[in-house]
Amino acid sequence: MSEEQNIADDGVGTHAADAPKTHSGFVALIGATNAGKSTLVNRLVGAKVSIVSHKVQTTRAIVRGIAIHKNAQIVFMDTPGIFKPRRRLDRAMVTSAWGGAKDADFIMLLIDSERGLRGDAEAILEGLKDVHQPKILVLNKIDRVKPEDLLKLAQTANEAVKFERTFMISATTGSGCEDLMDHLAEVLPEGPWYYPEDQISDLPMRQLAAEITREKLFLRLHQELPYSSHVETEKWEERKDGSVRIEQVIYVERDSQKKIALGKGGEAIKAISTASRKELSEILEQPVHLFLFVKVRENWGDDPERFREMGLEFPRG
């Protein structure tokens, strides 16, 4: 008897055919601004991969959050909120969102149940009629809406677009999210995983660090500062003592916005820096020395280089 047969007889070896089949694929999460897409991606991935704030259009480029559920690797593409564009940056974000949807294996439309199909959500439904990938409807914030209103909303949406399944969830509490993940793990194509098991995002750490600071900027100043402000990580130095020194620049379009970002006596920028440094230290699991600078860059929203920094295609015309 050969050595291979001995191993098999002892029950130690396994045949490749006996191994569970893996599934993997890309799920584009689309919806109107502030529908809760970033909150849901972070919930499903189980870690912070996309920034969240009260300010609309916070997500600018496609952020991929990677989740493992059962034997499936699910790559969520958190797309910018779809809305009626007014400026060049707006057009780039909306184009990015629809492009992400058309590149995915599945499309997941997230609707804020409180707002229903008013405004942008209705326009997105219309746009989905020309997208041929299988689609899933997810109604978010169900804890704030009466059950009969949820059923009516689901019926109206399914009459407009053919959805394969409808899920009712709360991205904040996690209610209904397990059923959603079970379904995605089952329906994604068979195949090897795209990313290492311990990877949760495809964002480079320098870019993720800039996104986290941008989140803290919006959380602190969302009523005063326009969302057109931008953060770039300019220096990243790993130090011998195990800490990291990070220098970032917050770009605004006018001197008046710079004063807002700095705050009286530098109060605002200090608070933003403290909050960002704390979260970055937790993510990196090492001490962080963060230095923030505020600079005025007029009309940066028309600079192709800035669009490339954000992972967006620069719209011509």
Tokens of 26: 């890309």
Run of H or E residues at 231: strand 230-238
Q: 55 labelled as ligand-binding?
A: no
CA dihedral 182, 200, 59, 36 (to 10 degrees): 30
DSSP 127-154: HHTT--S-EEEEEE-GGGS-HHHHHHHH
Pairing of strands 165-168, 230-238: unpaired
Q: 142 labelled as ligand-binding?
A: yes
Q: 146 labelled as ligand-binding?
A: no
Can you give the length of the chain in residues?
317
Predicted confidence (pLDDT) per residue in 213-254, tens digit: 988 888 888 766 655 678 888 998 999 999 999 999 998 888
Distances (CA, A) of 256 to 260, 297, 298, 301: 7, 12, 12, 17
Q: 34 labelled as ligand-binding?
A: yes
Which three-class secondary structure state does DSSP give residue 246? strand
pTM strictly above 0.75: no
CA distance 89 to 21: 42
CA distance 172 to 142: 10
Q: 136 labelled as ligand-binding?
A: no
Q: 149 labelled as ligand-binding?
A: no
Q: 261 labelled as ligand-binding?
A: no
Q: 204 labelled as ligand-binding?
A: no
Predicted confidence (pLDDT) per residue in 108-149, tens digit: 999 999 989 887 788 788 878 888 889 999 999 999 999 999
User: Which whole number is the average pLDDT over 174-200?
Assistant: 92
Which domains, ranges and CATH numbers included, belong to the chain?
23-187 (3.40.50.300), 205-310 (3.30.300.20)
pLDDT value of position 265 = 92
